[in-house]
Amino acid sequence: MSNNYESGLSNKELLVLFWLYVLIPLAWGVTNTITQAAKLFH
């Protein structure tokens, strides 16, 4: 049973790492786009 628990934990960690890998560049792109748009409107 402990093996299943450990693999579940690592799967959760992999999922968190995957979302960080996706969301950090996405958030950076969104903030870049907003700052560029703000420059255009000022």
Q: Tens of pLDDT along 3-40?
A: 555 566 688 999 999 999 999 999 999 999 999 999 99
Task: Determine phi and psi for 32, rounding to 5 degrees.
Answer: -60, -45
Domain with 22, as residue range(s), is 1-42
Q: What's the confidence (pLDDT) of residue 5?
A: 57
- Count of structural domains, the chain: 1
Question: Which sign, positive or negative, has the C-alpha torsion 16, 22, 28, 31?
Answer: negative
Give buried/exposed letters for 4-23 (b at 16+ CB in 10 A, else e).
eeeeeeeeeeeeeeeeeeee
The reported pTM is 0.58
The single-letter DSSP state of residue 41 is: H
Q: What's the confidence (pLDDT) of residue 22?
A: 96
Q: What's the confidence (pLDDT) of residue 42?
A: 79
